[in-house]
Amino acid sequence: MCQLLGLNANTPTDLVFSFTGFAHRAEEHKDGFGIAFFEGPGARLFVDAQSATQSPVAEMIRHYPIRSRHILAHIRKATQGRVALENTHPFMRELWGRYWVFAHNGNLVDFQPKLHAAFRPVGDTDSERAFCWLMQELAKNHASLPSVEHLTMTLAELVPTVARHGTFNFLLSHGEALWAHCSTHLHYIERSHPFAAAQLQDADMTVDFSAHTTPQDRVALVVTQPLTCNEDWQALRSGELAVFVDGHRAI
């Protein structure tokens, strides 16, 4: 099973601590990794078909504290599509003059939607097909960029069409909000003042967030399985679509 990691915050935040623990899970998920950072309307996307335990790109991420309010990461265990750069998540497309980034965990059986020229997959994964279809249908439903509330309503109508084909855990962001849909396993946590120390599950590493934050900071993390062993992670229910804005769950 692939692993997902998403961050949404009200102030630019680095992901070095969480990514360190997340990357350790690549020992069992060796078919590629990727990470996307939003910077205002722009986005940095780093992907590699190598495992995050071996990739020099992953090594750079662990030591280069890029700060962002919206971050998506993925480590891949291939189910559909060969191990190749074009099949490595996250995937990115443009819609309404905004970059959209998407990462999926699961397996969609016989999902072959009709796609027009504006949104076509480059690779051959079920994940990229699902992303292209979501973008296509959002574009059909809205002439211009709608509010986060209206986008959430439209996604809630669209997602079941895909989810009936199998497991559809995903993260989606356009640099303003983070959407998370759960089929099987997704967990989230919201960190705010007073911040405390956290201990990684997968590495011998602890960080005291109170030393690196202000009382106004808020951060939400969404992951496949909890990253830390001393924090109260919340599990999303099967079929639940959550949205996070400014470091807390909005819906």
Report which residue type is found at 20.
T
User: Which DSSP symbol is given to 210?
Assistant: G
Per DSSP, the residues of 11-61 read EEEE-HHHHHHHHHGGGS--S-EEEEEEETTEEEEEEESS-TTT-HHHHHH
At 185, list the tokens.
């396993």
Query: Would you give the end-to-end CA distance of the chain in angstroms?
Result: 26
**Selected catalytic residue, list 2, 132, 182, 229:** 2
- Distance between CA 142 and CA 244 in Å, rounded? 21
- Residue 182 bears catalytic tag: no
* CA–CA gap between residue 31 and residue 77 (Å, rounded): 5
130: buried, middle or exposed (CB in 10 Å: 19+, 13-18, 0-12)? buried
Q: By C-alpha distance, which of 89, 96, 86, 173 is closest to 121? A: 86
Q: What DSSP letter does each residue of 211-234 carry, written as one string? A: GS--TT-EEEEEESS-SBSSS--E
- Residues with a catalytic annotation lie at 2
